Structure 1
Amino acid sequence: MTDFSAKRRPQHGAGQDSIDQSLLERIAAGERPALHELYVNYYQRLLRFLYRITGQLELAQEGINDVMLVVWEKGHTFTGRSTVSTWIMGIAYRKGLKLREKSKRWSDRFKAADIDDWNEPFLPSEKPTDEVIMQDLLARALRQLSPEQRAVVELTYFHGYSYQEISAIAGCPVNTVKTRMFHARAKLRTLLPKLGADGPYK
Protein backbone atom coordinates (compact mmCIF):
# COMPACT_ATOMS: atom_id res chain seq x y z
CA MET A 1 0.00 0.00 0.00
CA THR A 2 1.35 3.40 -0.94
CA ASP A 3 0.92 6.09 1.71
CA PHE A 4 -0.02 9.20 -0.23
CA SER A 5 -0.14 11.20 3.01
CA ALA A 6 3.66 11.19 2.91
CA LYS A 7 3.36 13.53 -0.05
CA ARG A 8 2.10 16.39 2.07
CA ARG A 9 4.22 19.50 1.68
CA PRO A 10 3.11 22.17 4.18
CA GLN A 11 4.41 25.49 2.90
CA HIS A 12 2.53 27.96 5.04
CA GLY A 13 4.04 27.87 8.53
CA ALA A 14 4.55 30.88 10.78
CA GLY A 15 8.00 31.63 9.37
CA GLN A 16 6.80 31.48 5.78
CA ASP A 17 3.76 33.60 6.58
CA SER A 18 6.00 36.29 8.04
CA ILE A 19 7.95 36.35 4.77
CA ASP A 20 4.72 36.43 2.75
CA GLN A 21 3.33 39.29 4.83
CA SER A 22 6.50 41.29 4.27
CA LEU A 23 6.23 40.72 0.52
CA LEU A 24 2.55 41.65 0.55
CA GLU A 25 3.30 44.91 2.35
CA ARG A 26 5.87 45.75 -0.32
CA ILE A 27 3.39 44.81 -3.05
CA ALA A 28 0.79 47.10 -1.48
CA ALA A 29 3.41 49.85 -1.66
CA GLY A 30 3.75 49.25 -5.40
CA GLU A 31 7.02 47.28 -5.45
CA ARG A 32 6.94 45.04 -8.53
CA PRO A 33 10.06 43.02 -7.51
CA ALA A 34 8.10 41.86 -4.44
CA LEU A 35 5.27 40.65 -6.68
CA HIS A 36 7.76 38.74 -8.81
CA GLU A 37 9.25 37.09 -5.73
CA LEU A 38 5.82 36.06 -4.48
CA TYR A 39 4.98 34.76 -7.96
CA VAL A 40 8.08 32.57 -7.98
CA ASN A 41 7.38 31.31 -4.46
CA TYR A 42 3.79 30.33 -5.27
CA TYR A 43 4.03 29.28 -8.91
CA GLN A 44 4.38 25.52 -8.45
CA ARG A 45 1.71 25.10 -5.78
CA LEU A 46 -0.73 27.35 -7.64
CA LEU A 47 -0.12 25.52 -10.90
CA ARG A 48 -0.77 22.16 -9.30
CA PHE A 49 -3.84 23.36 -7.38
CA LEU A 50 -5.41 25.18 -10.34
CA TYR A 51 -4.76 22.21 -12.60
CA ARG A 52 -6.61 19.98 -10.15
CA ILE A 53 -9.62 22.31 -10.33
CA THR A 54 -9.65 23.15 -14.04
CA GLY A 55 -8.18 19.96 -15.49
CA GLN A 56 -6.35 21.99 -18.12
CA LEU A 57 -2.77 23.21 -18.06
CA GLU A 58 -3.49 26.35 -20.08
CA LEU A 59 -6.34 27.33 -17.76
CA ALA A 60 -4.14 26.69 -14.73
CA GLN A 61 -1.46 29.00 -16.13
CA GLU A 62 -4.08 31.62 -16.96
CA GLY A 63 -5.40 31.28 -13.43
CA ILE A 64 -1.99 32.02 -11.93
CA ASN A 65 -1.86 35.30 -13.83
CA ASP A 66 -5.40 36.14 -12.67
CA VAL A 67 -4.46 35.40 -9.06
CA MET A 68 -1.33 37.54 -9.18
CA LEU A 69 -3.26 40.41 -10.73
CA VAL A 70 -5.67 40.33 -7.79
CA VAL A 71 -2.73 40.20 -5.35
CA TRP A 72 -1.20 43.24 -7.07
CA GLU A 73 -4.43 45.23 -7.12
CA LYS A 74 -5.90 44.09 -3.78
CA GLY A 75 -2.84 43.39 -1.65
CA HIS A 76 -3.60 46.45 0.46
CA THR A 77 -6.95 44.91 1.47
CA PHE A 78 -5.36 41.92 3.24
CA THR A 79 -6.44 42.16 6.88
CA GLY A 80 -4.31 39.45 8.46
CA ARG A 81 -7.32 37.45 9.65
CA SER A 82 -5.78 34.42 7.94
CA THR A 83 -2.33 33.54 6.66
CA VAL A 84 -1.27 35.08 3.37
CA SER A 85 -1.14 31.57 1.91
CA THR A 86 -4.78 30.91 2.83
CA TRP A 87 -5.78 34.27 1.33
CA ILE A 88 -3.95 33.59 -1.93
CA MET A 89 -5.25 30.02 -2.24
CA GLY A 90 -8.76 31.34 -1.64
CA ILE A 91 -8.35 33.68 -4.60
CA ALA A 92 -7.01 30.77 -6.65
CA TYR A 93 -9.96 28.57 -5.68
CA ARG A 94 -12.51 31.11 -6.88
CA LYS A 95 -10.58 31.90 -10.05
CA GLY A 96 -10.18 28.19 -10.80
CA LEU A 97 -13.90 27.49 -10.53
CA LYS A 98 -14.72 30.46 -12.76
CA LEU A 99 -12.20 29.38 -15.38
CA ARG A 100 -13.52 25.82 -15.34
CA GLU A 101 -17.09 27.02 -15.78
CA LYS A 102 -16.00 29.30 -18.61
CA SER A 103 -14.19 26.45 -20.35
CA LYS A 104 -17.40 24.39 -20.46
CA ARG A 105 -18.75 26.82 -23.01
CA TRP A 106 -15.95 25.97 -25.42
CA SER A 107 -15.55 22.91 -27.58
CA ASP A 108 -14.18 19.73 -26.02
CA ARG A 109 -11.73 19.65 -28.93
CA PHE A 110 -9.32 21.75 -26.92
CA LYS A 111 -8.06 19.58 -24.08
CA ALA A 112 -4.79 20.06 -22.25
CA ALA A 113 -2.15 17.39 -21.81
CA ASP A 114 -2.51 15.14 -18.78
CA ILE A 115 0.31 16.34 -16.54
CA ASP A 116 0.46 15.56 -12.84
CA ASP A 117 4.07 16.03 -11.73
CA TRP A 118 5.20 19.52 -12.70
CA ASN A 119 8.75 19.30 -11.45
CA GLU A 120 9.69 15.94 -12.95
CA PRO A 121 7.42 15.18 -15.93
CA PHE A 122 7.30 11.56 -17.00
CA LEU A 123 8.97 10.95 -20.36
CA PRO A 124 7.74 8.02 -22.49
CA SER A 125 11.31 6.85 -23.04
CA GLU A 126 11.81 6.36 -19.31
CA LYS A 127 10.78 3.26 -17.43
CA PRO A 128 8.01 4.37 -15.05
CA THR A 129 8.77 3.90 -11.37
CA ASP A 130 6.20 2.61 -8.90
CA GLU A 131 5.84 6.16 -7.58
CA VAL A 132 5.12 7.59 -11.04
CA ILE A 133 2.59 4.84 -11.72
CA MET A 134 0.83 5.49 -8.41
CA GLN A 135 0.76 9.24 -9.07
CA ASP A 136 -0.82 8.59 -12.46
CA LEU A 137 -3.45 6.29 -10.96
CA LEU A 138 -4.27 8.82 -8.26
CA ALA A 139 -4.55 11.62 -10.83
CA ARG A 140 -6.97 9.52 -12.87
CA ALA A 141 -9.10 8.85 -9.80
CA LEU A 142 -9.10 12.50 -8.72
CA ARG A 143 -10.35 13.59 -12.14
CA GLN A 144 -13.55 11.68 -11.45
CA LEU A 145 -14.31 13.79 -8.37
CA SER A 146 -16.11 17.12 -8.49
CA PRO A 147 -13.85 20.23 -8.59
CA GLU A 148 -14.86 21.05 -5.01
CA GLN A 149 -13.98 17.55 -3.80
CA ARG A 150 -10.68 17.56 -5.69
CA ALA A 151 -9.80 20.89 -4.09
CA VAL A 152 -10.38 19.53 -0.58
CA VAL A 153 -8.27 16.43 -1.23
CA GLU A 154 -5.51 18.47 -2.87
CA LEU A 155 -5.38 21.07 -0.12
CA THR A 156 -5.43 18.44 2.63
CA TYR A 157 -3.09 15.75 1.34
CA PHE A 158 -0.71 17.72 -0.89
CA HIS A 159 -0.59 21.17 0.73
CA GLY A 160 -1.14 20.30 4.39
CA TYR A 161 -4.03 22.68 5.10
CA SER A 162 -6.41 22.07 7.99
CA TYR A 163 -10.18 21.89 7.51
CA GLN A 164 -10.45 25.31 9.15
CA GLU A 165 -8.01 26.78 6.63
CA ILE A 166 -9.76 25.06 3.72
CA SER A 167 -13.03 26.51 5.00
CA ALA A 168 -11.52 29.99 4.64
CA ILE A 169 -10.07 29.18 1.22
CA ALA A 170 -13.31 27.76 -0.18
CA GLY A 171 -15.56 30.26 1.58
CA CYS A 172 -17.78 27.61 3.11
CA PRO A 173 -18.48 26.18 6.60
CA VAL A 174 -16.06 23.64 8.06
CA ASN A 175 -18.85 21.05 8.05
CA THR A 176 -19.17 21.50 4.28
CA VAL A 177 -15.45 20.83 3.91
CA LYS A 178 -15.81 17.68 6.02
CA THR A 179 -18.78 16.54 3.93
CA ARG A 180 -16.85 17.05 0.69
CA MET A 181 -13.93 15.08 2.08
CA PHE A 182 -16.26 12.31 3.25
CA HIS A 183 -17.75 11.90 -0.22
CA ALA A 184 -14.34 12.25 -1.89
CA ARG A 185 -12.89 9.49 0.27
CA ALA A 186 -15.89 7.28 -0.40
CA LYS A 187 -15.43 7.68 -4.15
CA LEU A 188 -11.67 7.14 -3.96
CA ARG A 189 -12.13 3.98 -1.90
CA THR A 190 -14.18 2.64 -4.80
CA LEU A 191 -12.09 4.03 -7.66
CA LEU A 192 -8.52 3.32 -6.54
CA PRO A 193 -8.84 -0.48 -6.20
CA LYS A 194 -10.43 -0.59 -9.67
CA LEU A 195 -7.42 1.29 -11.04
CA GLY A 196 -5.01 -0.99 -9.21
CA ALA A 197 -4.04 1.47 -6.50
CA ASP A 198 -4.70 2.14 -2.85
CA GLY A 199 -4.27 5.11 -0.55
CA PRO A 200 -5.05 6.65 2.85
CA TYR A 201 -8.57 7.76 1.90
CA LYS A 202 -10.35 5.69 4.52
Structure 2
Amino acid sequence: MPTNPPTFPVLHPTDPQGRPESRSGSSNERELRLLKRVSQQDRDAFRELYFIYHRRLSRFISRLTTRRDLADEIINDTLWTVWRKAGDFRGASQVSTWILGIGYRQALTALRRAGAHSTLDEAAGREFAVADDLYAVDETRDWLDRALASLPIEQRTVIEFTYYLGHSCEEIAVIMGCPVNTVKTRMFYARRKLKAALSQLANGA
Protein backbone atom coordinates (compact mmCIF):
# COMPACT_ATOMS: atom_id res chain seq x y z
CA MET A 1 0.00 0.00 0.00
CA PRO A 2 1.20 3.56 -0.64
CA THR A 3 2.17 5.66 2.35
CA ASN A 4 -0.02 8.59 1.26
CA PRO A 5 -3.81 8.35 1.39
CA PRO A 6 -5.98 9.26 -1.59
CA THR A 7 -7.45 12.75 -1.58
CA PHE A 8 -10.72 12.73 0.33
CA PRO A 9 -13.55 14.42 -1.62
CA VAL A 10 -15.64 17.09 0.08
CA LEU A 11 -19.28 16.20 0.65
CA HIS A 12 -22.00 18.81 0.84
CA PRO A 13 -25.41 18.35 2.51
CA THR A 14 -27.17 18.31 -0.87
CA ASP A 15 -24.75 15.91 -2.55
CA PRO A 16 -26.93 12.94 -3.61
CA GLN A 17 -23.93 10.63 -3.67
CA GLY A 18 -23.46 11.16 0.03
CA ARG A 19 -26.77 9.61 0.99
CA PRO A 20 -26.59 6.35 2.93
CA GLU A 21 -27.75 3.31 1.02
CA SER A 22 -29.96 0.47 2.15
CA ARG A 23 -28.16 -2.62 3.43
CA SER A 24 -29.51 -5.01 0.79
CA GLY A 25 -27.65 -8.06 -0.43
CA SER A 26 -27.00 -6.37 -3.77
CA SER A 27 -25.44 -3.32 -2.08
CA ASN A 28 -23.13 -5.58 -0.05
CA GLU A 29 -22.06 -7.37 -3.24
CA ARG A 30 -21.35 -4.02 -4.86
CA GLU A 31 -19.33 -2.92 -1.82
CA LEU A 32 -17.39 -6.19 -1.87
CA ARG A 33 -16.39 -5.47 -5.46
CA LEU A 34 -15.40 -1.92 -4.55
CA LEU A 35 -13.39 -3.10 -1.54
CA LYS A 36 -11.52 -5.62 -3.68
CA ARG A 37 -10.61 -2.82 -6.10
CA VAL A 38 -9.57 -0.61 -3.18
CA SER A 39 -7.24 -3.38 -2.01
CA GLN A 40 -5.59 -3.03 -5.44
CA GLN A 41 -5.13 0.71 -4.82
CA ASP A 42 -7.97 1.76 -7.13
CA ARG A 43 -8.65 5.37 -6.14
CA ASP A 44 -11.87 5.60 -8.16
CA ALA A 45 -13.27 2.66 -6.20
CA PHE A 46 -12.18 4.27 -2.94
CA ARG A 47 -13.89 7.51 -3.92
CA GLU A 48 -17.13 5.62 -4.57
CA LEU A 49 -16.88 3.76 -1.25
CA TYR A 50 -16.14 7.08 0.45
CA PHE A 51 -19.34 8.60 -0.91
CA ILE A 52 -21.33 5.61 0.36
CA TYR A 53 -19.94 5.69 3.90
CA HIS A 54 -18.91 9.24 4.75
CA ARG A 55 -22.39 10.43 5.72
CA ARG A 56 -23.25 7.20 7.50
CA LEU A 57 -20.10 7.45 9.60
CA SER A 58 -20.75 11.15 10.18
CA ARG A 59 -24.25 10.42 11.43
CA PHE A 60 -22.91 7.91 13.95
CA ILE A 61 -19.80 9.79 15.10
CA SER A 62 -21.60 13.12 15.47
CA ARG A 63 -23.82 11.51 18.10
CA LEU A 64 -20.75 10.61 20.16
CA THR A 65 -19.10 14.04 20.08
CA THR A 66 -20.24 17.59 19.33
CA ARG A 67 -16.70 18.57 18.31
CA ARG A 68 -16.76 18.83 14.53
CA ASP A 69 -12.97 18.76 14.31
CA LEU A 70 -12.78 15.54 16.33
CA ALA A 71 -15.60 13.92 14.35
CA ASP A 72 -13.86 14.78 11.07
CA GLU A 73 -10.61 13.33 12.41
CA ILE A 74 -12.33 10.06 13.38
CA ILE A 75 -14.10 9.75 10.02
CA ASN A 76 -10.94 10.44 8.03
CA ASP A 77 -8.89 8.03 10.17
CA THR A 78 -11.57 5.39 9.63
CA LEU A 79 -11.59 5.78 5.86
CA TRP A 80 -7.79 5.95 5.73
CA THR A 81 -7.74 2.63 7.60
CA VAL A 82 -10.21 1.20 5.06
CA TRP A 83 -7.82 2.29 2.29
CA ARG A 84 -4.82 0.65 4.00
CA LYS A 85 -6.55 -2.50 5.28
CA ALA A 86 -8.98 -3.33 2.46
CA GLY A 87 -6.94 -6.40 1.60
CA ASP A 88 -7.42 -7.74 5.15
CA PHE A 89 -11.20 -8.08 4.76
CA ARG A 90 -12.08 -11.78 4.68
CA GLY A 91 -15.85 -11.59 4.16
CA ALA A 92 -16.80 -12.92 7.60
CA SER A 93 -19.32 -10.06 7.90
CA GLN A 94 -20.91 -7.48 5.65
CA VAL A 95 -18.68 -4.68 4.42
CA SER A 96 -20.81 -2.18 6.35
CA THR A 97 -20.25 -4.07 9.61
CA TRP A 98 -16.49 -4.16 9.02
CA ILE A 99 -16.26 -0.43 8.23
CA LEU A 100 -18.46 0.60 11.17
CA GLY A 101 -16.33 -1.60 13.42
CA ILE A 102 -13.26 0.35 12.33
CA GLY A 103 -15.15 3.59 12.96
CA TYR A 104 -16.15 2.46 16.44
CA ARG A 105 -12.58 1.59 17.41
CA GLN A 106 -11.26 4.85 15.98
CA ALA A 107 -13.92 6.76 17.94
CA LEU A 108 -13.04 5.00 21.20
CA THR A 109 -9.37 5.83 20.75
CA ALA A 110 -9.97 9.46 19.79
CA LEU A 111 -12.54 10.16 22.51
CA ARG A 112 -10.37 8.65 25.22
CA ARG A 113 -7.36 10.58 23.96
CA ALA A 114 -9.35 13.83 23.87
CA GLY A 115 -11.06 13.12 27.18
CA ALA A 116 -14.37 11.38 26.61
CA HIS A 117 -15.97 12.79 29.74
CA SER A 118 -15.32 16.41 28.82
CA THR A 119 -16.59 15.74 25.30
CA LEU A 120 -19.77 14.13 26.58
CA ASP A 121 -20.23 16.84 29.20
CA GLU A 122 -20.13 19.35 26.37
CA ALA A 123 -22.92 17.44 24.65
CA ALA A 124 -24.88 17.30 27.88
CA GLY A 125 -24.60 21.04 28.36
CA ARG A 126 -25.83 22.13 24.94
CA GLU A 127 -28.55 24.76 24.80
CA PHE A 128 -31.22 24.66 22.11
CA ALA A 129 -32.79 27.81 20.67
CA VAL A 130 -36.38 26.79 19.90
CA ALA A 131 -39.65 28.41 19.02
CA ASP A 132 -42.29 28.51 21.76
CA ASP A 133 -44.67 26.12 19.99
CA LEU A 134 -41.88 23.53 19.61
CA TYR A 135 -40.54 23.91 23.13
CA ALA A 136 -41.97 20.67 24.53
CA VAL A 137 -40.62 18.57 21.65
CA ASP A 138 -37.17 20.12 21.80
CA GLU A 139 -37.07 19.93 25.58
CA THR A 140 -37.72 16.19 25.36
CA ARG A 141 -34.98 15.87 22.74
CA ASP A 142 -32.67 17.86 25.00
CA TRP A 143 -33.43 15.52 27.91
CA LEU A 144 -32.70 12.49 25.75
CA ASP A 145 -29.39 13.96 24.56
CA ARG A 146 -28.41 14.73 28.16
CA ALA A 147 -29.40 11.26 29.33
CA LEU A 148 -27.45 9.60 26.50
CA ALA A 149 -24.43 11.77 27.27
CA SER A 150 -24.40 10.44 30.84
CA LEU A 151 -23.96 6.82 29.71
CA PRO A 152 -20.57 5.06 29.48
CA ILE A 153 -19.49 5.17 25.84
CA GLU A 154 -19.89 1.40 25.32
CA GLN A 155 -23.52 1.52 26.52
CA ARG A 156 -24.25 4.66 24.57
CA THR A 157 -22.83 3.12 21.40
CA VAL A 158 -25.15 0.11 21.72
CA ILE A 159 -28.14 2.48 21.91
CA GLU A 160 -26.92 4.48 18.91
CA PHE A 161 -26.32 1.39 16.76
CA THR A 162 -29.68 -0.13 17.71
CA TYR A 163 -32.09 2.80 17.58
CA TYR A 164 -30.37 5.27 15.26
CA LEU A 165 -28.59 2.98 12.79
CA GLY A 166 -30.91 -0.04 12.97
CA HIS A 167 -28.38 -2.81 13.65
CA SER A 168 -29.18 -6.14 15.29
CA CYS A 169 -27.45 -7.36 18.45
CA GLU A 170 -25.49 -9.85 16.34
CA GLU A 171 -24.23 -7.11 14.02
CA ILE A 172 -23.36 -4.85 16.94
CA ALA A 173 -21.38 -7.67 18.55
CA VAL A 174 -19.24 -7.95 15.41
CA ILE A 175 -18.79 -4.17 15.18
CA MET A 176 -17.82 -3.81 18.84
CA GLY A 177 -15.79 -7.02 18.96
CA CYS A 178 -17.64 -8.58 21.88
CA PRO A 179 -20.09 -11.46 22.53
CA VAL A 180 -23.78 -10.97 21.73
CA ASN A 181 -24.62 -11.43 25.42
CA THR A 182 -22.32 -8.51 26.25
CA VAL A 183 -24.27 -6.34 23.81
CA LYS A 184 -27.54 -7.41 25.45
CA THR A 185 -26.14 -6.71 28.92
CA ARG A 186 -24.98 -3.24 27.86
CA MET A 187 -28.41 -2.60 26.37
CA PHE A 188 -30.12 -3.67 29.61
CA TYR A 189 -28.03 -1.34 31.77
CA ALA A 190 -28.21 1.48 29.23
CA ARG A 191 -32.02 1.36 29.20
CA ARG A 192 -32.15 1.28 33.00
CA LYS A 193 -29.80 4.26 33.30
CA LEU A 194 -31.68 6.17 30.61
CA LYS A 195 -34.96 5.63 32.43
CA ALA A 196 -33.48 6.91 35.70
CA ALA A 197 -31.76 9.87 34.03
CA LEU A 198 -34.89 10.92 32.13
CA SER A 199 -36.94 10.68 35.33
CA GLN A 200 -34.49 12.97 37.13
CA LEU A 201 -34.48 15.48 34.27
CA ALA A 202 -38.28 15.48 34.08
CA ASN A 203 -38.46 16.20 37.82
CA GLY A 204 -35.99 19.04 37.50
CA ALA A 205 -33.16 17.24 39.33
TM-score normalised by the shorter chain: which range applies? 0.7 to 0.9
Task: Tell me which moved more, 153-162 or 187-196.
Answer: 187-196
Question: Which residue is equivalent to 1:49?
Answer: 60
- Quick one: structure 1 residues 11 and 194, their matched pair in 2 at CA, closer, same or farther if it must change by over 3 Å? farther
Q: Does 1:180 align with 2:186?
A: yes
> Which residue of structure 2 aligns with residue 75 of structure 1?
86
Q: 2:195 aligns with which of 178, 185, 189?
A: 189
Evaluate the alpha carbon distance shift between residue 145 and residue 33 of structure 1 in structure 2; reply closer, same or farther with a 3 A threshold.
same
Identity of aligned residues (%): 41
Structure 2 match to 1:200 = none
The yes-or-no answer on 1:63 pairing with 2:63 is no
- The answer on 1:140 being equivalent to 2:151 is no
Q: Which runs of 5+ in 2 are unaligned?
A: 1-19
Q: Aligned partners of 2:66, 2:98: CA distance in 1, in Å?
A: 22
Q: Provide the rounded CA distance (Å) in 2 between the counterparts of 1:45 and 1:102.
A: 23
Equivalent of 2:115 in 104, 111, 117: 104
Query: What is the Cα deviation at residue 104 of structure 1?
Result: 2.1
2:28 match = 17
RCO (CA 8 Å, sep 6+): is it higher in 1 or 2? 1
TM-score by length of 1: 0.77
Which residue is equivalent to 2:156? 150
Residue type of the alignment partner of 1:28: S
* RMSD of aligned alpha carbons: 3.0
**Cα separation, partners in 2 of 1:131 and 1:22, compared to 1, 3 Å:** farther
Distance in structure 2 (CA, Å) of the matches to 1:80 and 1:45: 20
Q: Unpaired segments of 5 or more residues in structure 1?
A: 1-8, 116-121, 198-202
Name the residue aligned to 1:119. Answer: none
- The structure-2 alpha-carbon separation of the partners of 1:45 and 1:131, relative to structure 1 and needing over 3 Å to count, comes to farther
Q: Which amino acid aligns with 2:59?
A: R
- Structure 2 counterpart of 1:35: 46
Alpha-carbon distance in structure 2 between the residues aligned to 1:31 and 1:52: 31
After superposition, give the CA deviation of every residue in 1:54-87 in whole Å (9 maximum; x if it has no partner): 4533211100000011110111111111000100
| Whole-Å separation in 2 of the counterparts to 1:144 and 1:49 | 17
Q: 1:166 aligns with which of 165, 169, 172?
A: 172
Q: Give the number of the structure whose residues are more often helix, by fraction.
A: 2
CA distance in 2, matches of 1:100, 1:128: 36
Aligned to 2:14: none
Cα distance between partner residues in 2 of 1:127 and 1:136: 15
